[in-house]
Amino acid sequence: MDDLKLPVTVPSTALFTDQYELTMVQAALRAGTAHRRSVFEVFTRRLPEGRRYGVVAGTGRVLDAIESFTFDERVLGFLRERKIVDEPTLEWLSGYRFGGDIWGYPEGEVYFPGSPILRVEGSFAECVLLETVILSIMNHDSAIAAAASRMAVAAGGRPLIEMGARRTHELSAVAAARAAYVGGFHTTSDLAAGFRYGIPTAGTAAHAFTLLHDSERAAFQAQVESMGAGTTLLVDTYDVTKAVQTAVEVAGPGLGAVRLDSGDLLLMAHRVRQQLDELGARDTKIVVTSDLDEYAIASLAAAPVDAYGVGTQLVTGSGHPTCSMVYKLVARSGSDDGSDAPLVPVAKKSMGGKSSVGGRKWAVRRLDEDGVAEAEVIGSGDPPSGLSGRQMLVPLVRDGAVVGREPLEAARDRHVEARGGLPLSATQLSRGEPVLPTEYI
């Protein structure tokens, strides 16, 4: 299967980085500090405005990216031609493979401000190179998963179809479909995502198919003859009432579904449901699309809608296309030889809310007597004895080898469990503060 992944992956991720990461390596090699044992952490200082929780997504893609982070002759030739770094650095890069350890919140888990979502440990040089590729994946995927989670809550268990491929970059569309699946969507219209990640796919016909034919009846007949009576017919190209009548006449009462893509969806859903029932198509489902977000989905909660298709708002994070995650050095050895000398906590001190907390972190989610989460407890060093709760970080990479890869379904199931373990107010769509406080000890 590896060769079949090429249409939606890249042979090397080494240039998915910023130039200053390589120039820092060059300077550190020259200074003799490149091999200092270092700890970097991925976290966010705040959630997007009004959000109650974040969703960890992209972890599996990060693991893939790290395995592919190598400098072949072509890449090294580009760096040499542009004089990005000097020859000793190119020599070092030619043998680069990440050989450190990575711990992190498992994919699908929820997070809060300050949560050490990912902890990357190794030499300074090998860790600093991964900053941009890790952040680009996790900022994008976690934003999509958070939006998907809110939409899944609003949908109340009704199926959700991801259909935003035409609203974003072609490879971002594949990543977005994956993240949406983690966050609670059921299917995707993007075949590359189905091919790469095994996500169930869905789709039948657009308005162009109806417009192609001499009449709406002819279009419906062609579709039913090709796909069977269980197909979904798009009924809002011309007149919805006439289209529903024609759809049932063509497909019979066993028609699978009708789709509404415009107009007053709340009003139309009620009218179409009544019409379908009167025509004997009581089991025919109603699918709605048309620029939906979590608020529009929630507004349709009382409507006879059976499934939702979401595009633009989903793949753009429903107003928050990034999570503002950062990748910061929090501890490093005082020795230049890469030994296991004690780690020294380090942190940026800055005005304007951009400071960070030094030290190699652990995190525990403290639960109340009913098993509901009540705080995200974060500290450095050894956790104090008697601290109860759930340890949040799990091993993902050990000595450069991936140990935390898992099926996508595991992340999807984990998210349902993690969200269900939060206070009930986490599922409110109204703006508010993070549902769990972050406590540093």
Q: With contact defined as beta carbons under 8 Å apart, do 238 and 220 qualify?
A: no
Q: Looking at the domain assignment, is residue 58 inside a domain?
A: yes
What percentage of the chain has pLDDT greater than the value 90? 90
Q: Choose one of 289, 319, 349: the last residue of a domain.
A: 319
Query: Does 285 lie in the same domain as 160?
Result: yes
Which of 261-270, 326-335, 347-356, 378-387 is predicted least confidently? 347-356
Q: Looking at the domain assignment, is residue 66 inside a domain?
A: yes
Q: Looking at the domain assignment, is residue 91 inside a domain?
A: yes
- Cβ neighbors of 375 (< 8 A, separation 6 or more) are 365, 366, 436, 437, 438, 439
Average pLDDT over residues 55-67: 97
Q: Looking at the domain assignment, is residue 239 inside a domain?
A: yes
Looking up residue 281, the CATH number of its domain turns out to be 3.20.20.70
Looking up residue 103, the CATH number of its domain turns out to be 3.20.140.10
Tokens of 332: 């490093």
Compute the distance between CA of residue 94 and CA of residue 71 in angstroms, rounded to an integer: 6
Q: Looking at the domain assignment, is residue 149 inside a domain?
A: no
User: What's the whole-number average pLDDT of the chain?
Assistant: 95
Compute the distance between CA of residue 422 and CA of residue 237 in angstroms, rounded to an integer: 43
**Does 265 score more than 60 pLDDT?**
yes
Structural domain range at position 220: 155-319
Q: Coil, strand or helix: which one is 283? A: coil
Q: Looking at the domain assignment, is residue 134 inside a domain?
A: no
- Cβ neighbors of 181 (< 8 A, separation 6 or more) are 148, 162, 188, 193, 197, 199, 408, 412
Tokens of 223: 């579709």
Query: Does 292 lie in the same domain as 161?
Result: yes
Average pLDDT over residues 341-363: 86
Query: Does 228 lie in the same domain as 179?
Result: yes
pLDDT of res. 6: 45
Average pLDDT over residues 414-441: 95
Q: Choose one of 319, 349, 378: the last residue of a domain.
A: 319
Place of tokens 């020294």: 344
Average pLDDT over residues 128-138: 98
What does the pLDDT look like over 3-57, one tens digit per residue? 555 455 677 899 999 999 999 999 999 999 999 999 999 999 999 998 999 999 9
Query: Does 359 lie in the same domain as 314?
Result: no
Query: Does 36 lie in the same domain as 73?
Result: yes
Place of tokens 């970097």: 40
Query: Does 315 lie in the same domain as 273?
Result: yes
Q: With contact defined as beta carbons under 8 Å apart, do 66 and 360 qualify?
A: no
Q: Rounded to the nearest 5 degrees, what angle is found at the Cα of 43, between the Cα atoms of 37 and 49? A: 165
Query: Does 310 lie in the same domain as 214?
Result: yes
Q: With contact defined as beta carbons under 8 Å apart, do 301 and 156 qualify?
A: yes
Query: Does 396 lie in the same domain as 287?
Result: no
**Does 1 score more than 50 pLDDT?**
no
Query: Does 170 lie in the same domain as 106?
Result: no
Query: Does 368 lie in the same domain as 422?
Result: yes
Q: What is the reported pTM?
A: 0.94
How many structural domains does the chain have? 2
H or E, element range at 142: helix 131-155
Query: Does 222 lie in the same domain as 92?
Result: no
